[in-house]
Amino acid sequence: MRRSYFLPIAALVGFLFLYIPIISLVIYSFNDSKLVTVWGGWTTKWYGELFRDPQILGAAWISLKIGVISATIATILGTIAALVLTRFGKVRVRGLLTGMVTAPLVMPEVITGLSLLLLFVAMEIALGWPAQRGVLTITIAHITFCMAYVAVVVQSRLVDMDDSIEEAAADLGAKPVRVFFDITLPMIAPALISGWLLSFTLSLDDLVIASFVSGPGSSTLPMVIFSKVKLGVSPDINALATLIILFVAIGITGAWFFMRKQLK
Amino acid sequence: MADSAIAAETKPWRSGTAEPFIRIQNISKIFGDFTAVDDVSLDIYKGELFCLLGGSGCGKSTLLRMLAGFETPTQGSITIDGQNVAGVPASERPTNMMFQSYALFPHMSVEKNVAYGLLREGVPKEQAMARTAEMLNLVKLGNFAKRKPHQLSGGQQQRVALARALIKQPKLLLLDEPLGALDKKLREETQFELIRIQESLGVTFIVVTHDQEEAMTLSTRIGVMNEGKIVQVGEPEEIYEHPNSRFVADFIGTVNLFQGRVDVVAPNEMRITGTEAGDLITKPIEGLSAKQTVSLALRPERISISREATSAANCIPGFVEEVAYLGNLSIYRVNIASGKTIKVTLSNLDIEGEPITWHEDVFLSWNAGSGVVLTT
Amino acid sequence: MSLSDTQNGRTASLLRKMGFSGRGLVIAVPTLWLLVFFLIPFLVVLKISVAEPLIARPPYSPLFVEGPDGWSIKATLSNYAYLLEDSLYIKAYWSSIKIAFFSTILTLLVGYPMAYYIARSQEPKRSLLLLLIVLPFWTSFLLRVYAWIGILKANGTLNGLLISLGIINEPLIILQTDIAVYIGVVYTYLPFMILPLYANLVKLDGSLLEASADLGASPISTFFRITLPLSLPGIIAGSMLVFIPVIGEYVIPALLGGPDTLMIGKVLWTEFFNNRDWPVASAVAIAMLIAVVVPVMFLRMAQTKAEENA
């Protein structure tokens, strides 16, 4: 008898634990007082302040640019890596590639960030490229760790897929490239979309690696947020958080309804 | 004369001089240290519906995949209509395949699935669509052209797969367990549908199956496979009535096997001694030596069962252990003195009077020509 | 017929040749990218970890030195010796493992009932709850950690609530302690624990539980004897997804932890950004790689092998 109450209560407490901090961010974004314990009445002034802050707007623009470019390239490279590992039969570099695809997933961000920075410094000395660190180096870094995630997502989709569907296309006269574009690509498209979204989120979220490989004038949004919140609570960041939460909630719920409709 | 001419035309394998359409010569396929197909040679003639029959892992699917071009033979050669297909990729071979899982393209409509092969061949779209509509009518799916595969039943999906594989009018159609995913009733109907389509298009079919009943119904000839080798090739009747080994006799249908030694060989009769049913009289076969170990294979329907002893060449007493009534026939399990159980089937039409039932003492009898003597 | 056949054959072989070179190119692109931007960087880190710090640009001594007798290699292990001498690094390493270990257990304790509850609920409630689990994951990690500052600080929401309810008189000091780090880790990594657990538990055949009850086991006994052992793969997968990244975590200890919260990721960051000692930072990275990443890689390989066998 007791057990039947334990489970829902434990789950409820868990969900409250997950959502109370998020809800509190949203509420305080409308608080007129700067102090979290004092309710100073409703206001939207922090949103106004947010949209007048050139530093945050600039950083958001840089982050979005890096996110879109690195998610796109990471999706292409990660998909190719997944294809090589699942559909190319005997490949000489298989062991090496498998290792290099799975290692970034377990690599602490500080190590990835440090090693890439040291590489860029060494390349700058030896080759003169990249001349300075900034958006380009952050993008390269994000592509590198995101493609590993994409490769894993796409690979599991390719492994689950019935090989004979591709064989059937070949049997009906399609050449390998044709088979890929006609059959494989449409069938793994959901995995590509989730891989892209995952990469975009990871890129948009990354503080550590970007801090290592960025240069002057190329602070990303997480870097700006971090430098602000290190000093304590800042209401315009609450406003920013609320906007992000709203955006994500709409996006995810929309995707959820879309998928449910597709299934029906 | 006329008889044999017809035979040569419809059953070219009997003539010995006809040119085979597909020639498989000494094909082997080794995966690592596992030999999937072991030195198989096989000739198949134009218009045949040839079944490769065997248990799982016997190499039949691997052989089919080598014909389709999905696996490269480790050794040997395959010739289709005079063309050696070594090194020709699957996309360029004059063969098409119907997959066990059907492998329908899930994101394309039925129509697009079927037209796919024609469009890859460069057939203009209008013409391709017209031929697709024709083909869908042949498999009775004309009304389902716009549906997606997941909106169809298993039987309908099976027919889409067949239509898609046939649309390019391949010289050879390969079917991997084509009826395996259907339920029993549908499977029986579809068998005849498959024969109808094959005959109306005249395409050569090679069917892989593990279901011996299906093989018997469908095929012009059957190749029985075991452990990567073809153990017997023949027409269904030949395989059933004259199996060449204990394996084939046991695999195709039900059989009672008696092992013993050759005793006396007379021109019309020979005796096998020391079997579990005592000494048995049978027709002799050539090339036997005295004391050689042989087996007698006896089909259940070749044995008659009676309350009184008969004058047949073989007649042994037994005790009915169990009777299973299947409607059209009854299956008896009869224990004999040695403890061996013998299976006997009896058509229920033939039963006169009070049927023999459980725990009755009976006699089993059969003629000298009823069994087949096997040396391997 | 035969003419077009040979022509077909020729085109085919030509295409295959092209396909072959295309194939090589396709393999080369991701391999080279990861080689240059993932593998080679570690060689650079290794190289710098045996250099001496300099006040220069770049702030480390070169590995190859041109002297009067030609090129020579100048390497030192003094950075590694320093890591062993100064107890800070060993302490930080153990403290990282400790925090990662206990927070994984905490996450499991919080996440398991949630995953079980979701797995046992019916559609469409189930996918709605799953959506609620996944949603925070897609919002900013940094902002979710930040949210706890407002809650946990001395004059924050939690203390305000507890004081106004009269439960405490003095504010609790939670922010800038290890407790805040644990809360932050459990909070941000909860979805990573719940999702694999859910994936496992949802596959659990309900008739097994019925069979167990039918044979006389109490619900609690059924849980410990049937459900828990069968969900072990999910527990392991979820725990790995939490434990591994937490060891190298920087953001959570930096924002929620105090000055005495020692974690190896934070130490490396400080060494690099505050002390500007690139060679020591590199040595920390290499040591971390050997002490953390290599065992984890082996663990993962063992895990995949076990899954393949099962």
The reply to whether B13 falls in a domain is no
Chain C neighbors of A35, CB-CB under 8 A: 155
Partner-chain contact A205 C155, CB within 8 Å: no
Nearest Cβ partner of B106 from A171, A175, A187?
Answer: A187
pLDDT reading at C15 higher than 70: no
- Taking chain C, what is the end-to-end CA distance rounded to the nearest angstrom? 53
Q: What is the mean pLDDT of chain C?
A: 84
Which of B230, B249, B268 represents a domain boundary (last residue)? Answer: B249
pLDDT of residue A196: 95
Q: Where are the domains of chain A?
A: 1-28+233-264, 60-230
Same domain, B121 and B54: yes
Whether residues B235 and B261 fall in one domain: no
* Cβ-Cβ contacts under 8 Å, C127 against chain A: 256, 260
Same domain, B31 and B124: yes
3-state helix, strand, coil in chain B (%, to 5): 30, 35, 40
pLDDT at position A94, please?
A: 86
Residues of B in contact with A171 (CB under 8 A): 68-70, 90-91, 93, 95-97, 165
Closest residue in B to C8 (Cα) is B92
Q: How confident is the model at residue B267 (pLDDT cuts 50, 70, 90)?
A: confident
**What is the structure's pLDDT at A260?**
74
To the nearest whole percent, how much of chain A has pLDDT over 70? 97
Cα–Cα distance for residue pair B260/B250, rounded to 1 Å = 17
* pLDDT attached to residue C52: 82
User: pLDDT-based confidence at A264, cuts 50/70/90?
Assistant: low
Topology, domain A60-230: MetI-like fold (1.10.3720)
Measured distance CA(A78)–CA(C23) in Å, rounded = 16
- Residue of B84, B85, B92 best to disrupt the C interface, most CBs of C under 10 A: B92
Verify that B113 and B220 share a domain, yes or no: yes
The closest alpha carbon to B277, from B290, B264, B295, belongs to B295
| Residue in B61, B71, B99 to test binding to A, most A beta-carbons within 10 Å | B99
Q: Which amino acid is at C119?
A: A
Instruction: Provide residues of B within 8 Å CB-CB of chain A.
Output: 68-70, 89-93, 95-97, 99-101, 103-107, 116-117, 120-121, 164-165, 168
The alpha-carbon gap from B376 to the nearest alpha carbon of chain C, in Å, equals: 39
Indicate the SS3 state at residue A84.
helix
For B29-87, write each residue's pLDDT tens digit. Answer: 999 889 999 999 999 999 899 999 999 889 999 999 999 999 999 999 999 999 999 88
- B242-256, C61-75, C214-228: least confidently modelled range: C61-75
- Band of pLDDT at residue C1, cut at 50, 70 and 90: very low
Question: With contacts defined as CB-CB under 8 Å, which chain B residues touch A164?
Answer: 99-101, 103
Residue B4 lies in a domain: no
What pLDDT score does C12 carry? 52
Q: Residue B186, CB half-sphere, CA atoms under 13 Å: how many?
A: 13
**Neighbors of chain B with 3 or more C-beta pairs under 8 Å:** A, C
**Range scoring the smallest mean pLDDT among A61-70, A173-182, B188-197, C33-42:** B188-197
Residue B30 lies in a domain: yes
| Of B226, B249, B272, the domain-final residue | B249
Closest Cβ opposite residue A172 in set B89, B100, B116: B116
Q: Give me B125's structure tokens.
A: 């779209």
Rg (CA), chain A: 23
Residues spanned by the domain of B156 = 21-249
Q: Is the per-residue pLDDT at C2 higher than 50?
A: no
pLDDT band for C5, please (50, 70, 90 cuts): very low
* Bond from prior residue into A130 cis (ω within 30 degrees of 0): yes
Two tokens, residue B40: 């198989």
Mean pLDDT over residues C266-276, rounded? 88
User: Which comes out higher in pLDDT, residue C189 or C222?
Assistant: C189
pLDDT computed for residue C11 by the predictor: 55
B287 touches chain C (CB under 8 A): no
Least confident piece of the model among A115-129, B49-63, B348-362, C175-189: B348-362
B49 within some domain: yes
Per-chain mean pLDDT for chain A = 89
Give the pLDDT score at C62.
Answer: 75
Query: Tens of pLDDT along B286-314?
Result: 778 788 889 999 999 999 998 888 888 89
Rg for chain C, CA atoms, rounded:
27
Looking at the fold, whether B221 and B307 belong to one and the same domain comes out as no
Alpha carbons B350 and A13: distance in angstroms, whole number: 76
User: What are the φ and ψ backbone dihedral angles of A43, each rounded to 5 degrees?
Assistant: -155, 155
Q: Which of B27-31, B218-222, B268-272 has the lowest mean pLDDT?
A: B268-272
Mean pLDDT, range B226-250, rounded to an integer: 92
Q: Answer yes or no: do A172 and B120 touch at CB < 8 A.
A: yes
Suggest the residue from A30, A109, A115 to mutate for an interface test with chain C (most C CBs closer than 10 A): A115
* pLDDT range class, residue B227, cuts 50, 70, 90: very high
The predicted pLDDT at position B35 comes to 92
Q: Which residue is it, tokens 């062993």?
A: C84
Q: Which residue of A has its CA nearest to C154?
A: A37
Domain count, chain B: 2
B30 and B110 part of one domain: yes
Residues in CB range of A5: below 8 A, 6 or more apart: none
Q: For residues B271-292, b (16+ Cβ closer than 10 Å) or e, as one string?
A: bbeebbbeebbbebeeeeeeee
Pairs of residues, one from chain B and one from chain C, whose beta carbons lie less than 8 Å apart = 8
Q: Which residue has the higher pLDDT, B18 or B118?
A: B118
Q: Tell me if C12 and B83 make a contact (CB, 8 A cut-off).
A: no
Distance from CA of C132 to the nearest CA of A (A): 8
| Residue B164 to residue A172, Cβ atoms within 8 A | yes
pLDDT confidence of residue C6 = 47
How many angstroms away from the CA of B28 is the closest CA of chain A?
20
Going by pLDDT thresholds of 50, 70 and 90, the confidence category of residue A132 is confident
Say if residue B322's pLDDT is above 60: yes
Q: What are phi and psi of B3, to 5 degrees?
A: -55, -50
CB contact under 8 A, A229 and C149: yes
What CATH number did the domain enclosing B264 receive? 2.40.50.140
* B70 and B145 inside one domain: yes
Predicted TM-score (pTM) of the model is 0.84
Please name every residue paired with B173 in a beta bridge, in sequence order, or none if there are none: B96, B205
Confidence of residue C14 (pLDDT cuts 50, 70, 90): low
pLDDT tens for A21-80 read 999 889 888 988 877 667 788 888 889 988 888 999 999 999 999 999 999 999 999 999
Q: What is the DSSP string of C183-207?
A: HHHHHHHHHHHHHHHHHHHTTS-HH
- pLDDT reported for residue A1: 40
Complex confidence, ipTM = 0.89
Chain B residues touching A165 at Cβ < 8 A: 103-106
Task: Decide if A22 and C139 are in contact by the 8 Å CB cutoff.
Answer: yes
Q: How many pairs of residues across A and C have Cβ atoms under 8 Å apart?
A: 242
Task: Decide if pLDDT at C4 tops 70.
Answer: no
* CB pair distance less than 8 Å for A173 and B95: no
Cβ neighbours of B92 in C, within 8 Å: 8, 12
| Judgement on whether residues B310 and B363 belong to the same structural domain of the protein | yes
Residue A167 pLDDT > 90: yes
How long a stretch of residues is chain C? 310
In terms of domains, do B308 and B207 share one? no
pLDDT for residue C296: 78
Domains of chain C, CATH where assigned? 2-73 (no CATH), 86-276 (1.10.3720.10)
Position C150 scores a pLDDT of 86
- Same domain for B338 and B235: no
> Where are any strands of DSSP class E within chain B?
22-31, 34-44, 49-53, 75-80, 83-84, 95-98, 172-176, 204-209, 221-226, 229-234, 256-265, 270-275, 278-282, 293-298, 304-306, 314-325, 329-336, 341-347, 361-366, 372-374
A84/C155 touch (CB, cutoff 8 Å), yes or no: no
Q: In a mutagenesis test of the A interface, which of C11, C21, C143, C185 is the best target, namely the one with the most A β-carbons within 10 Å?
A: C143
| pLDDT at A83 exceeding the cut of 60 | yes
pLDDT of residue C16: 55
Non-local (6+) Cβ contacts of C234 within 8 A are C115, C196, C197, C198, C199, C200, C201
Which of C35, C133, C285 is facing A115, going by the closest CB pair? Answer: C285
- Smallest CA–CA distance, residue A244 to chain C, in Å, is 7
The domain boundary residue, chosen from B233, B249, B265: B249
CB < 8 Å to C131, chain A: 252-253, 256
Chain B residues lying within 8 Å of A183, measured CB to CB? 105
In a domain, B146, yes or no: yes
Q: DSSP label at B300?
A: G
Burial code of B20-35, b = ≥16 C-beta within 10 A, e = fewer? bbbbbbebbbeeeeeb
Mean pLDDT to the nearest integer, B160-180: 92
* Beta strands at B229-234 and C70-73: parallel, antiparallel or unpaired: unpaired
Same domain, B125 and B82: yes
